[in-house]
């Protein structure tokens, strides 16, 4: 069974067709990189796939069922981070995670409560242990990105939808995030992430999908792209982004 299936997704804003009929599928353990120029519709697509925004037409199925079925339980099986993450600025990372995870264990009846050992582990995974008691209002952009990732990992989701998770991360953190995503995929999670950093998408994803003019302009496996070498692969992606 596919984790995520989308057919014929159309979105229109102010009379303008931003997505003009997009299809995608994502299986267990797969990492799909989503590429496209500024304004191509990546964030819009991620919002639709997460159930946060309704498309004008098209269908999204998650774990074999329409998104709207099984709500809210099925949506709680996703880990979603789209746009700038919002936190309680005066509270620490640990306190923010305690609140998020308390919400999750309240919402998922029967789901085990996440104890503080779990929170320490999450903070460790994203490299925030040393700063876990600092108010998030004093965090840098990259630290906020790390916390956003920790927030959507706490309930071991089947699907991650991540909008530009590499934004603001230093090269060390990018490497750590790549390892984290690969580990999550190896444990069976499906991951869809958008990024403008071509080299990193080629490093992390199994497959890529490029959006241009509201349509998919390229679908390719990463090994297939890299058969032309790193530079050739990046050229192919840029050409597809230009539509």
Q: CA angle at residue 8 from 5 to 9, to 5 degrees? A: 85
CB of 61 closer than 8 Å to CB of 4: yes
Q: Binding of ligand ATP at residue 9 (CB under 6 A)? A: no
Q: Binding of Mg ion at residue 53 (CB under 5 A)? A: no
Among the listed residues 35, 42, 157, 184, the single contact to ligand ATP using CB under 6 A: 42
Residue placing its CB nearer to ligand ATP in the complex, 194 or 236: 194
Alpha carbon distances (Å) from 76 to 1, 79, 137, 222: 19, 8, 27, 30
Residues of this chain, 49-68, that bind ligand ATP according to CB under 6 A = none
Residue placing its CB nearer to Mg ion in the complex, 28 or 43: 43
Q: Binding of ligand ATP at residue 204 (CB under 6 A)? A: no
Q: What is the Cα–Cα distance from 119 to 234, expressed in whole angstroms?
A: 38
Which stretch, 35-43, 72-80, 105-113, 123-131, contacts ligand ATP (CB under 6 A)? Answer: 35-43
Q: Binding of ligand ATP at residue 13 (CB under 6 A)? A: yes
Among the listed residues 28, 43, 53, 176, the single contact to Mg ion using CB under 5 A: 43
CB of 126 closer than 8 Å to CB of 106: no
CB of 4 closer than 8 Å to CB of 67: no
Which stretch, 43-51, 132-140, 206-214, 224-232, contacts Mg ion (CB under 5 A)? Answer: 43-51
- Is residue 164 packed enough to be buried (19+ CB in 10 Å), middle (13-18) or exposed (0-12)? buried
Helix, coil or strand: residue 149: helix
Residue placing its CB nearer to ligand ATP in the complex, 15 or 72: 15
Q: Please report, as ranges, the residues that interact with Mg ion according to CB under 5 A.
A: 42-43
Q: Please report, as ranges, the residues that interact with ligand ATP according to CB under 6 A.
A: 13-14, 18, 36, 38-44
């Amino acid at each position: 069974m596919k984790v995520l299936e989308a057919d014929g997704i159309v979105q229109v804003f102010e009379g303008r067709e931003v997505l003009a009929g997009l299809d995608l599928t994502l299986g267990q353990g797969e990492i799909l990189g989503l590429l496209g120029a500024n304004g191509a519709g990546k964030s819009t697509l991620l919002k639709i796939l997460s159930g946060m925004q309704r498309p004008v037409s098209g269908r999204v199925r998650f774990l074999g069922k329409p998104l709207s079925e099984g709500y809210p339980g099925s949506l709680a099986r996703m880990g979603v981070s789209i746009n700038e993450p919002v936190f309680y600025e005066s509270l620490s990372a640990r306190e923010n995670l305690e609140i998020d995870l308390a919400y999750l264990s309240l919402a998922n009846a029967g789901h085990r409560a996440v104890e503080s050992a779990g929170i320490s582990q999450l903070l460790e995974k994203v490299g925030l242990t040393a700063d876990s008691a600092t108010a998030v209002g004093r965090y840098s952009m990259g630290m906020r990105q790390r916390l956003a990732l920790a927030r959507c990992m706490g309930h071991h989701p089947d699907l991650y939808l991540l909008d530009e998770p590499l934004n603001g991360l230093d090269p060390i953190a990018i490497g750590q995030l790549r390892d984290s995503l690969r580990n999550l995929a190896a444990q069976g999670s499906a991951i869809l992430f958008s990024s403008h950093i071509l080299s990193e998408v080629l490093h992390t994803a199994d497959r890529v999908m490029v959006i241009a003019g509201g349509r998919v302009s390229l679908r390719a496996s990463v090994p297939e792209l890299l058969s032309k070498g790193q530079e050739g692969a990046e050229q192919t992606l840029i050409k597809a982004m230009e539509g």
